[in-house]
């Protein structure tokens, strides 16, 4: 008789990130054993474009004086107006200037032609674009800037938890009985979920399950694991949570998942990861947060002339994936998942205005953020344009697009208007500027800028892991 066994691949990847946790987490779970169907819960999906996406070749000046500056500095990397014209996004208002910073000028912008699937979402008012966005901190290190942004503490890489972890801890709308509050798709759990014992991590839902195969001791091993995590501490609850999730997901036919509405995900890891997130949403396990990375944006060389080549391929992958994901979730009634899913796309910084000698672009400052969803006031450009005229002092450090919109301003609006969490001061310590841009639909709650709204203990530094069970 064939029996089921734990596979090294599925169990190791599926569980290590799931219960890597920090002592003292104040989030309580009354029970992990019941599946809670909540058709109205809001879900945030965070996509991080790692490597520093070139925002100036993603959302491109189409006309005016800044078009001239773009052409002069980008040279062969620049995208022609003929290629851009079908994807005109409209006009972004001028940055008014602040202190010693020069004011900008309004600019007409267009979308990279390989990102045409995003244009469809923009035209349908489901996609908002924020240019000159990011973390206004003078650092060009990938690792530093990603840590600062994902931990939500600029200048501090040693913060013990990520901003999404603190959101989960402080959210007033998160019930106790949830099997899988957060899902991290990929090889590593991101720093935004650092110290989260609520997160399940896996490369795909196919990995997070039991596999068929002969193993006479499988039942004993399963029983031993259940016994090992059969107590009331947060460590035991984290282990039980993961095992419960495995039990539920293995009962689903995840390998034969059929996306809705004819959605076609791009081949490769990014498309597969988005497909897994869509499946998890439809399983109704109460998931509130999902994260996924799309790397490869560090285009120091051979970026591709006139928008083609390597960067053009990355644009296609991003745009096709996001379009398929939204199409898959779009529906009606209780199956209109897109109405309660918000996707935030971010990167650690943009690229310099000038083309380098290797046919690429080097680390810059201001970049692009996207917000996608059924409750997004899309079809609009948000933020303000700082300009590209270095003669007028418009460039940051004389070479980069300035940042005029703090990334926390965008995420705070999502937190309050969609996730109903007003605890901005706890999620983003030291940030006290809730001023919504109007990107999201929803009610404004009074922001709480306190540092610890729940009165819990600080998160500690210790990690724990389930043992790997192999034959």
Range of the domain at 269: 4-427
Confidence class for position 224, pLDDT limits 50, 70, 90? confident
The pLDDT > 70 percentage for the chain reads 84
Identify whether 465 is part of a domain.
no
Is the separation of the CB atoms in 185 and 290 below 8 Å? yes
Identify whether 101 is part of a domain.
yes
Identify whether 463 is part of a domain.
no
Residues 421 and 415: their CA atoms lie apart, in Å, by 5
Residue at token pair 């008012």: 125
Residues 66 and 70: their CA atoms lie apart, in Å, by 6
* Per-residue pLDDT tens digits for 56-108: 999 999 999 999 999 999 999 999 999 999 999 999 999 999 888 999 999 99
Is the separation of the CB atoms in 369 and 132 below 8 Å? no
Residue at token pair 């104040």: 26
* Per-residue pLDDT tens digits for 155-211: 999 999 999 999 999 999 887 678 789 999 998 899 999 999 888 888 888 777 545
Residue 30's pLDDT is what? Answer: 24
Identify whether 468 is part of a domain.
no
Instruction: Report the range out of 177-181, 213-217, 284-288, 396-400 with the highest average pLDDT.
Output: 396-400
Identify whether 32 is part of a domain.
yes
Residue 420's pLDDT is what? Answer: 96
Q: From residue 434, how far is each of 266, 331, 414 by CA, in Å? A: 37, 32, 11
Residues 286 and 39: their CA atoms lie apart, in Å, by 9
- The pTM score is 0.88
Tally of domains within the chain: 1
Residue 335's pLDDT is what? Answer: 86
Residue 333's pLDDT is what? Answer: 79
Is the separation of the CB atoms in 203 and 185 below 8 Å? yes
Average pLDDT, whole number, for the chain? 86
Identify whether 388 is part of a domain.
yes
* Per-residue pLDDT tens digits for 349-388: 999 999 999 999 999 999 999 999 999 999 999 999 999 9
The residue-averaged pLDDT of 135-164 equals 97
The residue-averaged pLDDT of 23-38 equals 34
Find the angle CA(4)-CA(272)-CA(186) to the nearest 5 degrees: 75
Residues 277 and 286: their CA atoms lie apart, in Å, by 13
**Total residues belonging to the chain:** 471
Identify whether 325 is part of a domain.
yes
Provide the 10 A C-beta neighbour count for residue 80: 12
Query: Does the structure show a pLDDT above 90 at 135?
Result: yes
Identify the H or E element spanning 270. helix 269-283
Identify whether 138 is part of a domain.
yes
Query: Does the structure show a pLDDT above 60 at 5?
Result: no
Burial 30-62 (b: 16+ CB within 10 A, else e): eebeebeeeeebbbbbbbbbbbbbbbbbbbbbb
Residues 391 and 379: their CA atoms lie apart, in Å, by 32
Confidence class for position 410, pLDDT limits 50, 70, 90? very high
């Amino acid at each position: 008789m064939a029996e089921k066994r734990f596979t090294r691949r599925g169990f190791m990847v599926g569980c290590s990130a799931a219960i890597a946790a920090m002592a003292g987490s104040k989030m309580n779970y009354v029970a992990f054993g019941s599946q809670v169907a909540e058709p109205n819960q809001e879900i945030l999906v965070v996509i991080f474009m790692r490597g520093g996406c070139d925002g100036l070749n993603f959302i491109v000046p189409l006309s005016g004086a800044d078009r001239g500056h773009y052409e002069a500095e980008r040279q062969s990397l620049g995208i022609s107006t003929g290629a851009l014209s079908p994807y005109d996004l409209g006009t972004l208002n001028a940055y008014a200037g602040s202190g010693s910073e020069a004011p900008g000028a309004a600019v007409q912008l267009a979308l990279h032609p390989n990102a045409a699937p995003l244009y469809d979402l923009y035209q349908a008012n489901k996609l908002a674009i924020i240019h000159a966005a990011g973390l206004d901190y003078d650092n060009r290190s990938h690792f530093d800037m990603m840590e600062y942004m994902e931990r939500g503490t600029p200048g501090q890489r040693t913060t013990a938890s990520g901003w999404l972890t603190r959101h989960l801890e402080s959210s007033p709308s998160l019930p106790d009985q949830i099997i899988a509050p957060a899902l991290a798709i990929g090889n590593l759990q991101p720093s935004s979920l650092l110290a989260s014992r609520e997160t399940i991590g896996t490369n795909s839902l196919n990995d997070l399950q039991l596999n068929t195969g002969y193993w006479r001791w499988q039942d004993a091993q399963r029983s031993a694991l259940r016994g090992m995590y059969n107590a009331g501490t947060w460590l035991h609850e984290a282990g039980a949570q993961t095992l419960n999730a495995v039990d539920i997901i293995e009962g689903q036919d995840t390998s034969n998942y059929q996306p809705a509405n004819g959605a076609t995900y791009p081949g490769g890891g990014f498309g597969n990861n988005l497909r897994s997130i869509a499946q998890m949403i439809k399983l109704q396990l109460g998931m509130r947060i999902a994260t996924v990375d799309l790397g490869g944006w560090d285009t120091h060389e051979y970026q591709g002339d006139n928008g083609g080549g390597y960067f053009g391929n990355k644009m296609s992958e991003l745009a096709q994936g996001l379009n398929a994901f939204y199409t898959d979730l779009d529906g009606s009634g209780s199956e209109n998942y897109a109405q309660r899913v918000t996707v935030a796309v971010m990167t650690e910084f943009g690229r310099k205005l000038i083309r380098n000698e290797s046919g690429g672009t080097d680390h810059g400052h201001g970049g692009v953020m996207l917000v996608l969803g059924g409750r997004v006031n899309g079809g609009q450009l948000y933020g303000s344009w700082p300009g590209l005229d270095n003669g007028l002092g418009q460039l940051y450090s004389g070479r980069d697009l300035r940042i005029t919109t703090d990334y926390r301003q965008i995420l705070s609006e999502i937190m309050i208007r969609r996730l109903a969490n007003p605890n901005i001061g706890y999620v983003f310590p030291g940030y006290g500027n809730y001023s919504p841009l109007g990107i999201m639909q929803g009610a404004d709650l009074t922001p709480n800028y306190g540092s610890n709204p729940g009165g819990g203990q600080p998160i500690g530094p210790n990690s724990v892991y389930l043992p790997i069970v192999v034959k």
